[in-house]
Amino acid sequence: MKKAGLTSLVLCITLTAVLSGCSTQAPTTTGTKTGETGKEAAKNVVKLKFWGGVPEEAGPKQAVDNWNQANPDIQVEYVRFVNDESGNTKLETALLAGGQVDLFINYRMDKLSKRIDAGMVEPLDPFIQKTNFNMEDNFGKDAIHKFKDKTYYIPAIILNDFVSLNKTFLDEAKLPIPTSWTWDQYTEYAQKLTKGEGANKRWGSYTDLLQPKIYEFLDKAVKTELGADAFYKADGTSNFDHPAMKKYFDIMFNLEQKLKAQPPIAEAKTSKMEGIQLYLTNKVAMHWIGTASLRNIKNTKDYPHDFITAFAPPPKLSENSKFLGGGTGYLDFTTINSRSQNKDAAWKFMQWYVTSGNEPLIAGGRVPAWKKADKDKVAKLILGDNPEKLFDVESFKRVVFADVPYVKDTKFDKLAEMQKIVEEEGERALIGEQTTEQAVKAMKLRSDKVLSEK
């Protein structure tokens, strides 16, 4: 492993303790050697660049400031990239340039997989062994998917999938907060919670934070039934002919076109509907989105509202669906750039960040993946002061801290192309341009063709 001489010197004089317990303070290091001048000490400071997609004001700046204050010998700069196609291209260009990125966070496993294949990511196993970092003790036995028997990342958070419900509307309709339900039951709720017409209409259901994404929510829904790698068969072809795929589109078509209980996708896109805006202005009763909505619900300045939000798990495709954490999973895959000249210092920061160090991000709804995090403290940070004014705390804890296995994909072959196919054919079905049966047949045909191309 390549180490710059300067880095080695710094690491020799650093007295940092590897993270312990539930402390939220960064491990401290000594400032200078005895007799070392301020100018010499400044020369020996290791400077790391840490790239992530979360706006710095949403927690990363505070996390980095906490580290820098406690660790004068290893100073970290947070660089924000927008987590979209152009932003990810910018990140990958910087990774190849050298000297621009030491650590970075990945927000999709398929993108991480490609970066590993391209040699952009450093294996972590030597660092884990050298520092006796117990991965299972800190993150559980299923948190990591190894690539060719090597560990390349550690997840910083768990992205929770759930349905937010306006409790005032539930009480009005005499409906209990669901603790477990199927899509048939969800549809009944949506129908009963839909009210009015035109500008005064209240929709029973909405999916996504902004305009609906077809692939993302199909993926979440079918995984409760099919588990990991839901879009692939063992023989290498696509799995779009599985009945679960058509069933999901039948449900969405029914909600949008027949029951008029969810905004039609064409209308949602054309009028640029925003799910969270509709939910917080009493225009939507149930909002399937997950933790991404929590910071908006707490933001009563921009979204004034006086109702309580309750929480329910995502619906199952059938009573027998086994993978209840289908849409919930590990995220913020934290990695070290293989071209970094400061890998040991990067690992030291990374250990701290993925355990207690990312606490400043919790308030924005980023639930730590670290098993030793204090759940009561996490709930308090996420829900804020006087949470009972905005949230049904009991249902929040029941859903967010549910002990359910997460689904961990391992196959990503041609996934970007398949996602595009799902969006195209799925939208055609939802607007009535083709039947749901025709849609999944087209997805199967087109995806199999893509997968057969080497």
CA distance 453 to 414: 9
- Please determine, for residue 263, whether its predicted confidence score (pLDDT) is greater than 80: yes
pLDDT of residue 150: 97
pLDDT of residue 10: 34
Superfamily of domain 163-327+384-452: Periplasmic binding protein-like II (3.40.190.10)
* 25 backbone φψ class: left, alpha, beta (φ>0; ψ -120 to 50): beta
What's the whole-number mean pLDDT along residues 130-138? Answer: 96
5-156+331-373 matches 163-327+384-452 in fold: yes
What's the whole-number mean pLDDT along residues 380-407? Answer: 90
Output 370 or 39, whichever has higher pLDDT: 370
Rounded to a whole number, what is the distance in angstroms from the first to the last CA of the chain?
33
Region of poorest pLDDT, from 11-25, 47-61, 227-241, 284-298: 11-25
Q: DSSP string covering 231-242, please? A: TB-TTSSB-TTS
pLDDT digits (tens, 9 = 90+) for 177-191: 999 999 999 999 999
Region of poorest pLDDT, from 9-23, 161-175, 257-271: 9-23
**Portion of the chain with pLDDT greater than 90, in percent:** 73
pLDDT of residue 17: 34
Helix (H) or strand (E) holding 266: helix 265-270
Q: Are the CB atoms for 130 and 1 separated by under 8 Å?
A: no
pLDDT of residue 85: 87
User: In the chain, where are the structural domains located?
Assistant: 5-156+331-373, 163-327+384-452
Q: Are the CB atoms for 288 and 261 separated by under 8 Å?
A: no
What 8-state DSSP symbol labels residue 259? S
- Please determine, for residue 25, whether its predicted confidence score (pLDDT) is greater than 60: no
In the chain, the amino acid numbered 323 is F
- Please determine, for residue 176, whether its predicted confidence score (pLDDT) is greater than 60: yes
CA distance 435 to 200: 31
pLDDT of residue 197: 93
CA distances from 284 to 116, 221, 269, 275 (A): 41, 20, 16, 8
In 3D, which of 339, 345, 352, 340 has the Cα closest to residue 45? 345
What's the pLDDT band for 4 if we cut at 50, 70, 90? very low
Output 84 or 336, whichever has higher pLDDT: 336
Region of poorest pLDDT, from 215-229, 321-335, 385-399, 406-420: 321-335
pLDDT digits (tens, 9 = 90+) for 431-453: 999 999 999 999 999 999 999 99
Superfamily of domain 5-156+331-373: Periplasmic binding protein-like II (3.40.190.10)
- Please determine, for residue 33, whether its predicted confidence score (pLDDT) is greater than 90: no
Phi, psi (5° rounding) for residue 13?
-95, -5
CA distances from 325 to 32, 179, 225 (A): 49, 13, 10
Output 183 or 10, whichever has higher pLDDT: 183
pLDDT of residue 41: 56
pLDDT of residue 9: 33
pLDDT digits (tens, 9 = 90+) for 300-347: 999 999 999 999 999 999 998 988 777 778 999 999 999 999 999 999
What's the whole-number mean pLDDT along residues 70-79? Answer: 98
Phi, psi (5° rounding) for residue 48?
-110, 145
CA distance 243 to 281: 37
Write down the pTM of the prediction. 0.81
Count Cβ atoms below 10 Å from residue 205 Cβ, excluding itself: 25
Which residue do the tokens 């933790």 mark? 291
What's the whole-number mean pLDDT along residues 114-143? Answer: 95
Output 20 or 41, whichever has higher pLDDT: 41
Output 371 or 292, whichever has higher pLDDT: 371
Q: 166 has which bridge partners?
A: 309
The pLDDT mean for the chain works out to 89
Q: Are the CB atoms for 16 and 348 separated by under 8 Å?
A: yes
In 3D, which of 408, 370, 427, 13 has the Cα closest to residue 228? 408
**Portion of the chain with pLDDT greater than 70, in percent:** 89
Residue 204, SS3? strand
